[in-house]
Amino acid sequence: MSVLGSGIFKGMAVTLKNFVGSYFDKERLTTNEYAWQANDKLPERAGDYPKEEAEQLSDTTTVTQYSRNFPMLLHDAGEPMDTVRCVACQICERECPPQCIYIEKSTEKKERSGNKAQFYPATFDIDVSVCMSCQICVEVCPFDAIVMNSQFELSTPSRFGELLLRRDDLLKSNDYYYKIHPEEASARDKRIADEKAAKEAKKKAAEAAKKKAAEAKSKSEAEAKAKEEAEAASKPTEPSDTPPAESTATPSTEPPATPTTEPEKEGSAE
Amino acid sequence: MTLDLIKDILLATVPLLIIFPTMFALTTWVERKALARIQNRIGPNKVGVPLTPYGGKLSLFGLGQPAADGIKMLFKENIVPTGADRLFHFLAPILSLIPSMLVLCFLPLDFPWLNGEQNSVKAFMLDGAVIFFFAITGLNTLAVFMAGWASRNKYSLLGGMRAIAQMVSYEIPLVLSAVVVVMIVGSLNADNIAKAQEGWNWFVFQPWGLAAFVIFFIGALAETNRSPFDLPEAESEIIAGYFTEYSGFKFALFFLGEYIAMFAISGLAVTLFLGAGAGPGVESLSWLKIFWFLTKVCILIGVMIWLRGTLPRLRVDQLMGFAWKFLLPLSILNIFVAGFAWHIKDANKETATSVVVWIASIIILYAAAKGLDRVNRAKVKPRTYQYGE
Amino acid sequence: MNEVTAFWMLAAISVLGALIAVRKRNLVHGVFALLVFFVGLAGLFLLLLAEFIAVVQILVYAGAVGILILFAIMLTDRVTGRDAFRVTSRGSFWGALISLAVFLVILLPTIQDIPTIENPTPKETIVETSTVKQLGIHLIKPYIITIEILALLLTAALVGAVTAAQGGRASENEENNK
Amino acid sequence: MTVAAPNYELVQQDGLETSLLEVSMGPHHPSTHGVFRMDVKLDGETVVDLKPVFGYLHRNHEKLAENMSYLASMPFTDRLDYFNSMTNNWAYALAAEQLVEIEIPERAEYLRVIMSELTRLVNHVSLVGFFVNDLGALGTPLLYAFREREKILDLFEQASGARMMCNYFRFGGLRCDVPDGWLDRTREVVDRFPKFLDEYEKLLCENEIILSRTQGVGNLSKELAISAGITGPMLRASGVNYDIRKVDNYGIYERFKFRVPYSEGDVGDCYDRFMVRMLEMRESIGILRQALDGIENGPIMGNAGKVFKPQKSEAYGRVEAPKGELGFYLVADGTTQPYRYRVRPPSFINLTVLQDMCIGQQVADAVIILGSIDIVLGEVDR
């Protein structure tokens, strides 16, 4: 037989414990104060984020390396438009569930620093007021050209326009990617390097085989080439529901740009 | 004579009008802070005192919050719904503030500067001070109903009806538990009641006093619409109850009135049961009386905040049942217990007897409460559950 | 500012409240005007140093009776007072006449030793101790029988009210059980 | 100035002409859990009639999904029941995986179970918080619940990048592997959770006010629950031992030992619904512990093809979502888009008995009955 009102007193004991605990126990008061002033120091938990560049500081605060928010376009070291990885294949535009990406492909192919000529996005807009941060575009991109940014301080007083991120707003360097998502970026670069190495090896093997079977029929040669092509396209992606457009299919055999962080990967694949 | 009278009135009332609204401002901050901490949040911590017009501020744990709230309330638009009774809609907040402010002068706050005066105004010395208190608090109900009715909103109307039913019902246990003290002291004069408890003779240390205090405190919670009896403003059910349609300064007045009523009724509880101004050191320093009184009031307010952070609210019928089927019989029984205890004590002044009387009274009251509880909530009990593999 | 001024102010408030209560077409407004009248009356009692009566006036009339009337109004179908309730003015002359007669009948016995405003209580009945105590002693000693009878009556009324309310509920429950 | 008179319906009662008060609770009401609306007719404070009105959040989810590829509607399933995106993902993936033959790797199966049970903790703990909030507890239990929920959401964020809209499951596995140390962090959270539950139970389960507010309120009999198609904790609270984790054994649930709590009687009131959820959390912790012990390294994506293009077929995949049976029905016509896509939302179906439970109760009870059903409008309106 319980004491009269014991449930209420037990509850009051719990709330008292929490009241006192909120001053001493980090497990109870988990709130982090949001850095709301520019001259305030960022809280410790956001330490994952590097703070060197003033521009970035104004962009992003309290985020972890796992956060993702809106997509950005990756470029390698150098002039952004010279080293942009995107070749305007428009797969992401087609696959985007809320249809928030708008791409216009350049009419001309453009020579890029050390790479063969590629198309490039003349316009690349992402309407972040529509974007739902689902990351499907990242998954379908065969060139590792689009990844997720963790910048979230995007609020703007203007109702139209400002939330439409243009190509130049979206372009971020691979170094920046390393800063905001170190684990993911290194994993991605490692995969790219592995694939490239595998391809090099395969190509060498294929060339050796070609030399060895130089007198072989042209049919078998074509087969080897087809196999090589299939290998190149086998990224862990969900290719589009409709077959890629012709212009996309041709450049997709090779990523046009390679990360600059590892010097042995410099240079074109071919 | 007239000037003297006005001076006396000002001397007696102005301190009340300074102390309690200041306490109100601080209490809103304390309440928000304490609730936040109970809920493991930080609470308001940004608004501070600006040091210069150009920046820099002293962020005293958000102590500037009450001022900021007040300014915000002042400048908000006053919205009167179409079809509302404009006169009553305007009058209700004022009317809700007047009784709560008025009853403050029945609290035995004996300001030292009043004692030298020839003809000082001390309302708490009135012969009917305690009953005056209840009479005037009762008028609060009308303001609440006025607000609910004049807003022409169904939620407001429901809230107003709930408020009336609740306040009228809980006034009875409230008065009956106060009657015990009045009976023992033999006076309705707040000053006499305070004098009877000087030293450590607080009535709350008596068994009947303890029971009466608990009943009084529960009644006070209901009377001031505090959780768990905040049905008239039950947010999850009827939005904000009777002040759903109030905005800006009218809302602030309601808010002020509610908190002042809280202070007033806590003050009465302190007067009746917690020894009014009694406390260590009052013999030498009469100022301490006011300090102890206000400290005790603040402790009661703290308990109210604590309860608010813990308990869900009752339902209307349970609320009524609790008042009529639990508190009312218990408080009536308490009157008898107090009478017997007093008589036995009067006849036999030995310590052993008083201890026996103490324990016996507590047992009787607890058993009665337990029995009433079992009768009222016969079907309510924790259940067991089975598991399927 | 003295008792005379206070008296005239309170009297004006009371009369005004009473007049509004009678004449107002909106029922709820009328009730609140009536409450103003009650409070004014309480003030008059206070002026006559009859504080206990004043308190009871507020407690019982302004508090309880006013709310009772409000509840009664809530049960009528013109709750919100959108249509002002048409008070029939037929026979108002006779009503006024009867009121006046009743007033005079009450007035006559008291007028013989009516205290003046300057001297609110006749000298010989000024009580030294508190009025509450006096009242208590009087109620318990000479008027005990009256009190007991009244208590019995009120209890009977209360029990009757509960029974009436329960009767409705019981029949409802039976219907539900069917 | 003319004002539309409030609706009062005249009724005759005991020879007294009285009127019913029609109150439209919602869509802007603090306790309707989103944009739900109840047209309530009140006699005093007693509910005599209640009409649920919804559709304010209709987003054309099903038709949208029929016009995009199978994968592209995966992120949209997050938005159905936005508290439990992981289980929504799973139900959809389960349906799609039946259309084609995909083998799901072991590690992915384990992670699916872990994510799903963490989701159940998140949902139940916040539901109890919301429920007590509806009872008027000023959010204290809710904020405790959210405090713990944050810790689990941190885990979700680390695994999938988002806290609520996880979009983590893929046909044939998961989108990406969890980062290093994630399992240890999860174990830490899971190990600490029972301590929190003890405190939570101490705060709520014995509270006299909660007991008397919830017991005997919103009764749902076993027969009605079954015939109305109620599923999930609500059905178990009415005394039916039915859990799709046990019935279907989808995923790898048959490997775990866990019990399904259900009510002893068939009262099925708000208290039962509240308690069943409290007890279920304990079982989920058991499953989580077993899963964290059993998980091994390995691939997380199965042999899914590059293009998800199933043959002409149909499939129905269902999981025991925290709110009940969440099912996805897909008809494939051989293209990359589903021909028909249909969601069986648990909250919507559980909501159908709202009227039956509310009539005759007080208006304050209607609010908590709605709270105890556990609806999320994103799922009800779709």
Counting the structural domains of chain B, the total is 1
Give Dmax over CA atoms of chain C in angstroms: 71
- Nearest Cα neighbor of A98 from D80, D64, D90 is D64
Q: Which residues of A touch B (CB under 8 A)?
A: 4, 8, 11-12, 14-16, 18-19, 21-23, 28-31, 33
Q: Report the percent of chain B where pLDDT is more than 70.
A: 93
Picking from B35-49, B256-270, D277-291, which range would have the lowest pLDDT averaged per residue? B35-49
Same domain, D40 and D174: no
Per-residue model confidence as pLDDT tens digits over B205-228 = 888 888 889 999 999 988 888 888
Task: Decide if C31 is inside a domain.
Answer: yes
The residue in chain B having the minimum alpha-carbon distance to the alpha carbon of residue D215 is B380
**Which of B87, B88, B138 lies closest to C63 in CB terms?**
B138
Q: How many domains does chain D have?
A: 2
- What type of residue is A56? Q
Residue ranges of D 12-31 with Cβ closer than 8 A to chain C = 14, 16-19
Residue C136 lies inside a defined structural domain of this protein: no
**Residue type at D294 in one-letter notation:** G
Chain A contact set for B56 (CB, 8 A): none
**Per the domain annotation, does D3 fall within a domain?**
no
User: Cβ separation of A11 and B34 shorter than 8 Å?
Assistant: no
Q: Which two tokens stand for residue B319?
A: 């609320």
Q: Same structural domain for residues D225 and D178? A: yes
- At A47 the pLDDT is 30
Please name the residue of chain B whose CA is at the shortest distance from the CA of residue A32. B42
pLDDT confidence of C155, banded at 50, 70, 90?
very high
Does residue D92 form part of some domain? yes
pTM over 0.90: no
**What pLDDT sits at residue A269?**
38
Instruction: List phi, psi (to 5°) of D318.
Output: -135, 150
Q: Nearest-CA residue of chain D relative to A5? A: D208
- Pairing type for strands A71-75 and A171-173 reads parallel
Q: What is the CATH number of domain A67-204+228-260?
A: 3.30.70.3270
Q: Do the Cβ atoms of C132 and B188 come within 8 Å?
A: yes
| Region C44-49 average pLDDT | 81
CB within 8 Å: C59 and B131: yes
Same domain, D47 and D119: no
* Interface contacts A/B by beta carbons within 8 Å: 42
In a domain, C3, yes or no: yes
* Helix runs in C24-143, H state only: 27-47, 51-56, 66-75, 92-111, 131-140
Quick one: pLDDT at residue B226?
Answer: 84
> How close D76 comes to chain A (CA, Å)?
8
Task: Specify whether D40 is located in the same domain as D89.
Answer: no
Q: State the smallest CA–CA distance between residue D128 and chain B in angstroms.
A: 13
DSSP bridge pairs for D46: D43, D362
Dist CA D294 CA D110 (whole Å)? 8
Q: Are the C-beta atoms of A75 and A171 separated by less than 8 Å?
A: yes
Amino acid at A243: P
Which residue(s) pair with A123 in the sheet?
A: A104
* CB–CB contact A29 B369 (8 Å): no
- Which pLDDT score is estimated for A233? 54
Tell me, yes or no, whether B55 lies in a domain.
no
Same domain? For D217 and D352 the reply is yes
| Helix intervals (H) in D161-269 | 182-204, 208-214, 222-227, 233-237, 244-247
Q: Does residue B165 surpass a pLDDT of 80?
A: yes
Q: Are residues D365 and D255 in the same domain?
A: yes
Q: Which residue range forms the structural domain that includes residue C16?
A: 1-87
Residue D281 structural domain: 61-381
Predicted confidence (pLDDT) at residue C116 exceeds the cutoff of 90: no
Mean pLDDT score of chain B = 82
pLDDT of residue D212: 85
Q: What is the pLDDT of residue A240?
A: 42
Count of structural domains, chain C: 1
How high is the pLDDT of residue A236?
45
Residue D244, CB-side half-sphere exposure with 13 Å CA sphere = 20
- Chain A with chain D: Cβ pairs closer than 8 A: 97
* Confidence (pLDDT) at A180: 75
Q: What is the ipTM of this complex?
A: 0.79
**C139 domain-assigned:** no
In order of A241, B173, B205, B327, B329, the CA distances from B333 in angstroms are 81, 11, 18, 10, 6
Q: How confident is the model at residue C113 (pLDDT cuts 50, 70, 90)?
A: low
- Please give the residue of chain C at the shortest CA–CA distance from D14: C168
For the CA atoms of A167, A172, A177, A179, the dihedral, rounded to the nearest 10 degrees, stands at -140
Report the candidate in B56, B61, B34, B33 with the shortest Cα–Cα distance to residue B46.
Answer: B61
Distance from CA of D1 to the nearest CA of C (A): 12
In a domain, D1, yes or no: no
User: What mean pLDDT do residues B47-69 have?
Assistant: 72
pLDDT < 50 regions, chain D: 1-5
Domain membership of residue D175 (yes or no) is yes
Q: Which residues of B touch D139 (CB under 8 A)?
A: 39
Residue C24 belongs to domain with CATH number:
1.20.120.1200
Q: What is the CATH number of the domain that holds D298?
A: 1.10.645.10
Which B residues in the span 11-50 are in contact with A, Cβ-Cβ below 8 Å?
A: 34, 37-42, 45
Distance, CA of D142 to CA of D126 (rounded, Å): 6
pLDDT of D1 reads 37
* Chains within contact range of chain D (3+ C-beta pairs < 8 Å): A, B, C
Range of the domain at B333: 2-43+76-376
B321/D contact by beta carbon, under 8 A: no
pLDDT band per the 50, 70, 90 thresholds, residue C152: very high
Confidence grade of residue C156 (pLDDT, cut at 50, 70, 90): very high
**Residue A216 confidence (pLDDT):** 66
- Verify whether the Cβ–Cβ distance A22 to B40 is below 8 Å: yes
List, for residues B289-332, the tens digit of each pLDDT value.
Answer: 888 888 888 999 999 989 888 888 888 888 888 888 888 898 88
Tell me what pLDDT residue A258 has. 39
Cβ separation of D259 and B389 shorter than 8 Å? Answer: yes
Q: Is D75–A134 a contact, with Cβ atoms under 8 angstroms apart?
A: yes
Q: Are residues D45 and D185 in the same domain?
A: no
Contacts of C56 in chain B (CB under 8 A): 135
Please report, rounded to a whole number, the percentage of residues in chain B having pLDDT higher than 90: 2
What is the nearest CA distance from B336 to chain C, expressed in angstroms?
A: 18
For residue A239, list chain D residues with Cβ-Cβ distance below 8 A.
Answer: 306-307
In tens, the pLDDT along A178-207 reads: 877 777 788 888 888 888 888 888 888 888
List average pLDDT for each run of 10 residues in chain A, which is 270 residues long: 77 87 80 55 35 40 70 79 79 85 81 70 84 85 82 66 76 78 80 84 82 68 63 49 40 40 38
